[in-house]
Amino acid sequence: MEEIGDSLSGKILKVTTIEDMPLSGTETINGTVRGVGMVFEMLELLEETLNFSHIVVPSTDPVETVFQGKADFISAFLPIPRQPDGLSYSTPLSVAKWVLLMPRPSKSLFGSGLLAPFTLEVWMLTLSTLVIMGPLFFSIIKLRHKLVRPSAAKSRLYRLGECVWFTYGAIMKQGSPLDPSDDTTRLLFATWWIFITILTSYYTANLTAFLTLSRFTLPISHPEELAEKSIKWFGKSDGALEQAITGEDDEMSYLKDSLENGHGQLLECSNQQIIDLVLQDHVYLGELRKIQALVFESYKENFDKYEDAVSRCQMVSTTEPFLSRPTALAFQENSSLPQIFNPVLRSMVESGVVRHILNSKKPDSEVCPLHLGNSEKQLKLSDFTSTCLAVVFGFSLALLAFLFEKMLSKFFEWKSKTKVASNTSRKVFYPKEFLQIKQSNTPACIDPKLFIIHKAVGKSRFQIKQSLAVQFQYLE
C-alpha cells in the first residue's frame, strides 16, 4: 500500500473489523456491508475531524487482511500484545479487563451456619488460644505463689482444671466461682474477659448479618481454580487471552495444561452460543464489556418469563479482573496512519469522549450484580445445619465421656478387687477375744494362743491352718 500523506482530506480508507459486539461488528443492509458498534461511533468522529471516509472490507481474519494490503487498518478495540506481532498500534484507547462468567449458583459458598462469621484462620487462632490460656493462667498463678512470700500470698492456688474451665466458661459468657484476691490473678482474668467480650460481639453481629442478609459468594474467583478443580471453560481464540495462555511469557500458563487436557477450549462463537454454554455449567473467560452485554441480553430475554430476580439473572460474573490489556486500533507496521490518527485519538481519550462512547450502551444501574439485594431472607433448614451438627456432636461427646467414666469406674473397681485378692496369703493375727467359732449352736472359744488365718475376698469365711472350714464372726 502506498504511504498516505499528512492529509487525509477526501480519502477513502478501507477498514476491516472483528465480530465483537457491542464493541465492533458488521451488518449488511441492501447488499452493503457497514460497520457497527462503539468503535465505529469513534471512527465517525475521526472522519469528521480529518475529513475522510471509509468502506468496510469483510474478513474472517482481519490481521491477515491487513498484512495482505486489502485493508488500511483494523477498526476494533484490539489488545496491544506484549510481543511484536507485525502490526503498528495507535495510542491506547482504553483498558480491556477479562473476568469470569458462570451460571449463578443456587446457594452461596460463603459458609454454613455457625462457622460462617469467621474465616478458617480466625477459627484456628481462637481454638489455639482456648487450648493455651488455661495452662498459661495456671502457670502464671503458680509462678506468682512461688515468687511471692507465703505470708503475702493471700489467694489460694487454683488447680489446672479450674483454670481450664474458667477459660471455656468465659467464652460461653458463663460466670465463674473463682474469686481471686490478688491483683495479678484479677488482671489476668479481666484481660481474658475483655478479649472474650470483643470476640463474641463480633461473632454475634456477623452471625446475625449472615443469617438475615443475602450475602453471596461464588465458587470460583480466579482462573487458577479452573485448572485445580478441572472445570470446563472456554474463551475467545486469536486474542489477548490465547496469547496469555499459550505465549512465551507464561502469564497464564496454569491454564495451558487444562487446555491440552480438554477441559478448556479457545473458539469463535456467537453471543447466544456463549450464553448456552455458560448455562450448561461452563465458565466463560471474556472481556468485561462483552460479558456485561451478555448478562444484560440474557436478563432482557428472561424478564418477561420469570418474576423473581434469581430466575431472571441466571448468569453472574466475577468482580476482580484476572487479565488487563490496553486496547488500540491496529495498522500495518510501516503505515503513516498512526501519526495522523494519534493526536486526534489522544485528544478524544483525554477529553473523555472515548469513555463516554464505551459507557453509552451500559444501563444506568448494574444488571444482575453478585448480591441481588433481596430485602428479606427466610431462613432455610440448611442454615441450621451447623447448629444441628453442634448439638449432635455435643451429645455424642457427652455419651463418650459417660462411657469412659463407666469404664474407668469398672477398671478401678477391678483393680481394687485384684489388689485385695493378691493379699489372700497375707498372715493376719487375731487374739482370741475378737473371734468366735460357729461350728455348733454353742459358741466355743479359740485356743488362747495366737493363730493364723487367711482372709477370703468379699466373704466372711476363713480357713485356718488345719484347713478346717469354719465361719468366724469378729468385732469391728
Residues 279-290: tens digit of each pLDDT: 888 888 888 888
166/168 Cα distance (integer angstroms): 6
Residue 452 CB neighbour total at 10 angstroms: 10
Identify the DSSP state of 405.
H
Residue 293 contacts residue 21 (beta carbons within 8 Å): yes
Q: Which helix (H) or strand (E) holds 125?
A: helix 120-147
Read off φ and ψ for residue 417, nearest 5 degrees: -65, -40
Conformation bin of residue 53: beta by default, left when phi > 0, alpha when psi is -120 to 50: beta
In which residue are the cell numbers 457491542 written?
22
- CA angle centred on 341, ends 336 and 344, rounded to 5°: 150
Sign of the torsion formed by the C-alpha atoms of 141, 143, 146 and 149: negative
Q: Which helix (H) or strand (E) holds 13?
A: strand 12-16
Beta strands in 354-466 (DSSP E): 428-430, 435-437, 451-455, 461-464
- CA angle centred on 27, ends 22 and 32, rounded to 5°: 150
pLDDT of the residue at 249: 57
pLDDT-wise least confident of 78-82, 302-306, 464-468: 464-468
462/446 Cα distance (integer angstroms): 14
Q: What are the residue ranges of helices labelled H in 32-119?
A: 38-50, 62-67
Q: What is the largest CA-CA distance in the chain?
A: 149
Q: Distances in Å between the alpha carbon of 250 and those of 87, 241, 257?
A: 22, 12, 12
pLDDT of the residue at 452: 42
446/429 Cα distance (integer angstroms): 13
Nearest CA-CA partner of 315 in 283, 359, 289, 363: 283
> pLDDT tens, 123-180?
888 888 888 888 888 888 888 877 776 554 455 678 888 888 888 888 777 767 777 7
pLDDT of the residue at 311: 78
Residue 348 contacts residue 45 (beta carbons within 8 Å): yes
Lookup: cell for 374:
433481596
Q: Which helix (H) or strand (E) holds 33?
A: strand 32-36
Residue 444 CB neighbour total at 10 angstroms: 9
Judge whether residue 328 has pLDDT over 50. yes
214-225: b (≥16 Cβ within 10 Å) or e: ebbebebeebee
Q: Going by DSSP bridges, is the β-strand pair 451-455/435-437 parallel, antiparallel, or unpaired? A: unpaired
Helices and strands in the chain: count of H runs, count of E runs: 14, 17
pLDDT of the residue at 476: 37
Residue 64 contacts residue 224 (beta carbons within 8 Å): no
CB within 8 Å of 291: residues ≥ 6 apart: 99, 101, 284, 317
In which residue are the cell numbers 439473572 written?
313
Q: How many percent of the chain have pLDDT more than 90?
A: 0
pLDDT-wise least confident of 241-250, 299-308, 345-354: 241-250
Identify the DSSP state of 321.
-
pLDDT-wise least confident of 44-48, 57-61, 420-424: 420-424
pTM over 0.85: no
Task: Look at residue 198 and give its three-state secondary structure.
Answer: helix
